[in-house]
Each structure stands twice: as C-alpha cells, then as structure tokens.
C-alpha cells in the first residue's frame, strides 16, 4: 500500500511540474528587452550570396557595406563594398536616398555586427535594408570574387 501511495505522490508531483512549466513565465525587464531586441532585429531583410551576386552582375543599384574590422576589410571584401564600422553608421556614410538598397555584412552567420549596422540604418529612416548573413566567409565559400585594399576614395 505504501508503494501505491508513493507512486501517486510522484505522479501528482510530475503533473504539477508539467503544468508549471507550461505556464508562461512572468515578463521581466530582461525578457522584455530581449523580445524588443529580437523584434527590432527582424526589421531588416536577409539577402543570400546568390541574390547579391545576381544584383551586382546585373548592375542593379545596391550599396554594400562591410562591417568587419578595418584590417579584415583590407584583407578581402566584396567588390564595391565600403568599410563602415557597425557603430559608425551615419547619414554621412550612407546614400542620401533613404530608399536606396543597402546590404550590410560582417564575418559569418555567428557575427552580428551587420545586424547592429542595419538596425542603425533603419533608425535613421532607411527603408530598403538587408543583411548578408553568410558574411565574407559565405561569399568566399561560394567562390565569389573578393578584392583587397583600403576603402575607395
């Protein structure tokens, strides 16, 4: 009889724990900030290496911005890309046309410098903002052309 009682208590405890875990966690300042950051992050769109390559090959108007460190940029970057630090995005370094297509990229999918830069462009009123999640490593892995050297004058 004691075994059955113990089994019942354990079963009730397990069911109680499931019910608690299914209930939504109360909102805290941290979870609210994280949710806001995630929704802000999704305001920009994503562009694949293939899409950017096609747009460039078709001479479509696209402004490509490298958010890697300056040394990494000079080692190799996407042709026509300008180096702009992820925290240096201002109207002075972007096109005057707020509807211009902007593509920000950094090192790879784990790097989020381009996310920060894209969000800054959106905050400045730009409306056609993309990131290249694959970054320079994805660009190179797809055997796309890379150039080296400092920012063009």
- 81 vs 103: CA distance, rounded Å: 9
Read off the pTM. 0.73
- Give a yes or no: residue 68 inside a domain: yes
Domain with 137, as residue range(s), is: 37-141
Residue 42: predicted pLDDT? 64
Q: Which helix (H) or strand (E) holds 5?
A: helix 2-22
Confidence of residue 2 (pLDDT cuts 50, 70, 90): low
Does residue 89 fall inside a structural domain? Answer: yes
Buried b (16+ CB within 10 A) or exposed e, 50-77: eebbebbeeeeebbbbbbbeeeebeebb
Task: Assess whether pLDDT exceeds 90 at residue 141.
Answer: yes
Q: Is residue 29 part of a domain?
A: no
Specify the number of domains making up the chain: 1
Sheet holding 128-131, edge to edge: 45-46, 128-131, 101-105, 63-66, 82-83
- Considering only residues 88 and 5, tell me which one the structure prediction assigns the higher pLDDT: 88
pLDDT class of 40 with cuts at 50, 70, 90: very low
Closest to 105 in 3D by CA, of 84, 131, 70: 131
Does residue 136 lie within any of the structural domains?
yes
Does residue 7 have a pLDDT over 50? no
Q: Please tell me the distance from the alpha carbon of residue 83 to that of residue 137, in angstroms, as a whole number.
A: 16
Task: Report the CATH number that the domain containing residue 63 is assigned in CATH.
Answer: 3.40.250.10
Identify the bridge partners of residue 64 per DSSP, sorted by sequence position. 103
Residue 115 lies in a domain: yes
SS3 category, 141: helix
């Amino acid at each position: 009889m004691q075994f059955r009682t113990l089994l019942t208590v354990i079963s009730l405890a397990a069911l109680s724990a499931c019910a608690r875990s299914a209930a939504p966690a109360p909102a805290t300042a941290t979870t609210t900030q994280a949710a806001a950051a995630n929704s802000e992050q999704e305001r920009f769109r994503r562009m694949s290496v293939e899409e950017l390559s096609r747009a460039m090959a078709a001479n479509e108007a696209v402004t490509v911005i490298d958010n890697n460190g300056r040394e990494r940029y000079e080692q190799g970057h996407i042709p026509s890309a300008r180096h702009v630090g992820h925290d240096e995005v201002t109207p002075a370094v972007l096109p005057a046309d707020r509807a211009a297509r902007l593509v920000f990229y950094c090192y790879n999918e784990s790097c989020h410098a381009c996310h920060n830069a894209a969000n800054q462009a959106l905050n400045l009123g730009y409306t056609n903002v993309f990131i290249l999640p694959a970054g320079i490593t994805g660009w190179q892995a797809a055997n796309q052309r890379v150039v080296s050297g400092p920012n063009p004058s």
